[in-house]
Amino acid sequence: MTNGPWLDPVSELCVPVPWGEIRGESWGPDEGYPVLCLHGWADNSGSFHFLIPLLPKECRYVAMDLVGHGLSSHRAPGVPYLLSEYVADVRRVVEGLRWTKFSIVGHSMGGNIAGMFSSLYPEMVDAIVLLDIYGFFITRLCDLSTSMRQGMDGMLQLDGMLNYNPKIYTFEKAKERLSAANPGLSERSLHILLKRGLTQVEGGFVFSRDLRVNVKHVDRFTSEHCLQMQSKIQASVLIVLADNGFGTPSKQQQESKLLQSYKDRNHTVVTVPGDHHVHLNNPEVVAPLVSDFLQSKVISRQLPA
């Protein structure tokens, strides 16, 4: 296994879709073992810029800008941002790449997309790395209708705002806004996310993501739903939780059945020091775990005898 200092992606990715295009970035040799990287809510492919250079160079890494994020097109007017639609987007991208078998690294919301995709298309996924997420987001049964209504109301409220004039920021004010929403992000993490997260316009910058991604997802699943979907996953799974992130002790207790099910099926669950964006702020903490996992579960199994 060889890791090394890739400073920049090899190429820009563009996959045509019916409403526009899905954009992203790629690293590594064309013939490398394919690994799809899915960022979290309100982030973009820059989320993986500091982690991927520390991972095995035998792989071909593609980091998507999820629809409505980064440089990817926004969904058409009236079309909501649903978890299930993001799963369909992954299928569109891998078909565009002509990948039939690949691994996934997913952070936060990207990890939930990875979990659902892997349960629906288990034959396509070799290995899954979940960064500070469990692969499925559980909604308590008693909260199900309330959460779905909130998402629906938010979506309908924004229907009339599609032609709004977005606020224009200086770069420093945009950075302050992103930092206020994500106080744990380091200075260099803020800069790399803003590289694809801002669009320059006359007078300054506007955030490139669609305002509608802020609405709560209408897709909601109970513990029973999530456990059933998780049982369909055939890939090896590595879960890397941050001790000061999404996987706090209180959250682990709420998701304890899901977490225990991973352990019962001999998947790997580890905790590292850091916050929700530990893979971006401190990639050197996460990289050895991900590298060893990809090496043992994917690369070594595909090398010629």
Domains, the chain, ranges and CATH? 11-142+220-302 (3.40.50.1820)
Q: What is this structure's pTM?
A: 0.93
User: Phi and psi dihedrals of 265, rounded to 5?
Assistant: -95, 20
Active-site residue, 236 included:
no
Q: What is the pLDDT of residue 254?
A: 64
Q: Which of 47, 103, 108, 189 is catalytic?
A: 108
Q: What is the pLDDT of residue 255?
A: 78
pLDDT in tens, 201-225: 999 999 999 988 988 888 899 989 9
CA angle 156, 88, 216 (to 5 degrees): 30
- Cβ–Cβ under 8 Å, residues 158 and 212: yes
Q: Which residues of the chain have pLDDT under 70?
A: 1-9, 160-163, 247-254, 303-305
User: Phi and psi dihedrals of 285, rounded to 5?
Assistant: -80, -35
Q: What is the pLDDT of residue 3?
A: 46
